[in-house]
Structure 1
Amino acid sequence: MRISKDGPPPGEHEPEQLEARLAARLATLRTEQGWSLDELARQTGISRSTLSRLERAEISPTAALLGKLCSAYRRTMSQLLAEVESEPPQLVPAGRQAVWRDEASGFTRRSVSPPHPGLRGEVVEGILRPGADISYDGPPVPGLEQHIWVLEGELEVTAGDREHPLRAGDCLRLRLWGRSRFRNPGAGPVRYAVLVVLP
C-alpha cells in the first residue's frame, strides 16, 4: 500500500516519511499491548516475519494486512493513519487529503474527512478497479456504523452472509459485526463514499 498526497507535495519524500511513521506506530502499538511478534501473529493470522518487516518499514502493508492489524488494535484504518499524521486541520482541502493505494488489490482510499478529536464520524472515498475483491475478517470496532454511497459504477458489499448489490446513487446503511467484502463486479472502476460513525 502506497501512502501519498494529491496535489503539490509538501516534500519529495513525504510518502516514505508517512510509511516510516506508520511502521513505527505499529511497533509502538504492539509494545503498548505487551504483545510479542508471535502473539500478534496468532491474533491476526499474519506471519511473524511479515509483521517484523512491516514494523521495520521494509514492506508496505496491503489493505487486507492493515485491516487485520486495525482489528487487533481496535482502530479504524483512518484512526490508525491519522495517528501518524500531524494534527488534522478543520478544513481539509482536496489537494491535502491523504490517499492510500494498494496496487496489488486494486484499491485506492482517500481520507476526505479524517478522524478528529471530539468527532465520531469520518468520510472516506474508495475506488476499486474492475474485478477488485477485498475481504476483511471483521470490523476494527464491533458494531461499527457505515453508510456506503456509490457515486459511480457498481459495488457488491457482503456483510456477514448477506450480499448487497449497489449501483450509482444507492446507499447501504449497516453496522458491522463480522466479516465483510467489497467487490467490483462491473466493467469499469467503482467510486464510492463511506461515512464511518464510531459507536
Structure 2
Amino acid sequence: MSDIPPGALSSAATARNRDPILAVLRARLPERARVLEVASGAGEHAVWMARGMPGVVWRPTDPSQQALASIAVWRATAGLPNLLPPLQLDAADPSTWPAEGFDAVVCINMIHISPWAAAEGLMALAAQALPGGGLLYLYGPYLEAQVPTAPSNLAFNEDLTRRNPEWGLRRLEEVAALAAKSGLKLSGRIEMPANNLSLWFEKAG
C-alpha cells in the first residue's frame, strides 16, 4: 500500500502499526468473523486487515464524509470481496448504528482523539452488535495506574488536550469500568510497539 490512489488519505502511523495489529487480530478472531470497524479513518487499516484475513468480512465506518470518500477509494483500488462499502457511523449517535450483528468490533486510535461520549457510545454499540462471547478490540495509548507513562505519551497527551480539552489519553481502569457497565469484560492486554496497547473485551454470554 505504498502507492496512494488519487482521492485517498494516508497515515504514516498506519504503515508502522498495521502488521502488529494484524498479527493480534489473526490470533484471536474466528476465521469467518464479521467485523465492524468503528472510526476507520483513511481506510488503510480496513484494506490491510481484509487482505490479511480473506475469510473475515470487514465493515469500515467513520463519521467524516472526507474519511468515507477515502475509504471508498482504497476499497475500489483493492478490489477485495470481503471488504464491504463504508457506512457513516458516529459512535456517540445511536441513530447511525447499523442494525446488523457482528462477531467483533474493532476500534483503532479513536477514544483518545474524541470526546468521552464517543467511548461511551462505542461500548453501548459493541454491547448491541455483539453476541455472547463476541469481542471488542481497542488499540492505542493508555494511562495505567501501576505502569510508568512513556515521556512520548505524556507529550502526546499534552498536545491532545491543548488541541481539544475533551481529548486526551484515557485511564485504562476507567475504560475497563465503562466497558463493564455494558457487559464487556477486559480479557486481554498486549503491549504493542511505540507504547501502545491492544485490549480485548469479551461480551458476557
Same fold by TM (over 0.5)?
no
User: Which structure: greater strand fraction?
Assistant: 1
| TM-score normalised by length of structure 1 | 0.33
